[in-house]
Structure 1
């Protein structure tokens, strides 16, 4: 399960393209037009002449001048016509495509709906990034290991999900700053529960729900033992908590926020269980140009309000600002 792989070592409870320009066929016309004789106004009262000014223009000179003028006009029209066709071809071609990688089972950040259409908060953020960079996004959904290999080979330009900047991930990616979402492991409680749970020791004898196969499960079992219940899908743990079959669920604040809001559960994200996680978009090692472009674009999104609008769509508030304790509105 990709979500499990991505988050297996995410937290520690102990720490409080340029667009191609087509070659225009009219360029050869333009070059040939430059070699044609040009007509210019004569300085005599006898009208126009060609390069040699004559007081009495001969018919051959006038014919030559007329033919030159006619060829010049025709070639100019051909040049303009070919340039217009080139502009239309460029418009039809559209922006250059760029491949962006996403975890395939990482709701609400990146996933596919029932029709196979890619969705998610990170997907929408990356779409806006590509819009500002005048690129057309070609999403690639894969496991974390598969995406890491694709980034390394240059098949995809960057990883559209924010990852923890762990030593392992730093060996595989360079990271983009700023991070656009504040992510923190937090306690999730029933909205009527006023108890404070600030550490695993506070949960001795209590029923705790966690996502199966994660570092959180491993650390919680080491302290609490059999009172820890692991779930394949965190939505099921939140459902049990809403019916008070659990005392607490530990989950990342944004994932909990999304499900509480989407499922209209009587729950709240309460006290943080760890310090905010350091995260960022991953790019190929040494790709400073892409790193800088993405950094500047994310800063633009933070300023122009587009990131806030995407956040409101998925979570109901601006996730670029830490908000770890609130009750869901119904």
Structure 2
């Protein structure tokens, strides 16, 4: 899951300045027959572009199922992760489905639906690493890679204060650095790391272990992000999340990507 922290201060201030009109909008009278969805397209298996440039992944399939349930026409927009919230506030799209965690910091900027999944973070290290456990003592003086503006980067700094946390614009970039011996460990969602180490590109590395998802950092799971005041659209999404879980659509999509329950407790 993309369990991400608050955006950089500069981006947040920019969003407040440029998107304040959207942040306080009231959608009660809006006809939500069309919804534009923002996602990253660079976070497999949750959202990614395939060789033909088509958006795929768990987030994308869930979004399509929710749109079908709501009987609305949805289109997708790809957006760099660290500009996701400002782009939503500026009206570039109506909803974020990009593995974004529901955190207190983000809830000050945007609204969220109820969660649509929740998985724990994990640490991966090279297969020949002398690091045997995911503790601050074991990682003291080591370099840990994580994606910028994510809860994983925030958690890495909190859990491993004696390590150096290096932040990257995308997950692909930290993967390249550990594959080439420039990092000692990386931290991300357990699903993302598990899928990576099973791939040809991830043969360098192994999962060291999962970590507890501190609610103060990881919040209440992953939800759909919405502009403040989008109460009607929020209710539509919440009702649709319940419906696709009850009618089996959610499980069908989940089983396409995972062999365990990603919804959580």
Q: TM-score range by the shorter chain?
A: 0.5 to 0.7
Quote the offset at 1:155 in angstroms. 4.8
Quote the offset at 1:135 in angstroms. 2.0
User: Does the CA contact (< 8 Å) of 2:111 and 2:226 recur in 1?
Assistant: yes
Paired position in structure 1 for 2:52 = 115
Paired position in structure 2 for 1:137 = 74
Paired position in structure 2 for 1:181 = 117
Unaligned regions of 5+ residues in structure 1, if any? Answer: 11-16, 20-95, 323-330
Unaligned regions of 5+ residues in structure 2, if any? Answer: 8-29
* Residues 1:282 and 2:201 are matched in the alignment: no
Task: Choose which of 243, 250, 259 in structure 2 pairs with 1:300.
Answer: 243
User: Does the CA contact (< 8 Å) of 2:48 and 2:55 recur in 1?
Assistant: yes
Number of positions where the alignment pairs a residue of Structure 1 with one of Structure 2: 229
Say what the alpha-carbon RMSD is for the aligned residues: 3.8
Structure showing the higher helix proportion among its residues? 1
Paired position in structure 2 for 1:169 = 106
TM-score (norm 1): 0.56
Task: Choose which of 304, 311, 316 in structure 1 pairs with 2:259.
Answer: 316
Return the alpha-carbon distance in structure 1 between the equivalents of residues 212 and 143 of structure 2. 13
Whose Rg is larger?
1
State the SS of the aligned residue for 1:223: coil
Paired position in structure 1 for 2:22 = none
Quote the offset at 1:126 in angstroms. 0.1
User: Does the CA contact (< 8 Å) of 2:38 and 2:78 recur in 1?
Assistant: yes
Return the alpha-carbon distance in structure 2 between the equivalents of residues 284 and 200 of structure 1. 38
User: Does the CA contact (< 8 Å) of 1:184 and 1:275 recur in 2?
Assistant: no
TM-score (norm 2): 0.67
User: Does the CA contact (< 8 Å) of 1:101 and 1:159 recur in 2?
Assistant: yes
Quote the offset at 1:123 in angstroms. 0.9
Return the alpha-carbon distance in structure 2 between the equivalents of residues 292 and 187 of structure 1. 36
**Superimposed CA distance per residue, residues 111-156 of structure 1 (whole angstroms, 9 cap, x where no aligned partner):** 3223221122211110111111122221011234654344335553
User: Does the CA contact (< 8 Å) of 2:88 and 2:96 recur in 1?
Assistant: yes
Distance 1:149 1:317, change over 3 A: same
Return the alpha-carbon distance in structure 2 between the equivalents of residues 212 and 235 of structure 1. 10
* Residues 1:125 and 2:62 are matched in the alignment: yes
User: Does the CA contact (< 8 Å) of 1:189 and 1:268 recur in 2?
Assistant: yes
State the SS of the aligned residue for 1:114: coil
Task: Choose which of 175, 189, 193 in structure 2 pairs with 1:235.
Answer: 175
User: Does the CA contact (< 8 Å) of 2:110 and 2:227 recur in 1?
Assistant: yes
**Superimposed CA distance per residue, residues 198-252 of structure 1 (whole angstroms, 9 cap, x where no aligned partner):** 53123336x5542365445655774035xx77777243366579xxx98754322
Return the alpha-carbon distance in structure 1 between the equivalents of residues 92 and 163 of structure 2. 44
Structure showing the higher strand proportion among its residues? 2
Paired position in structure 2 for 1:103 = 40
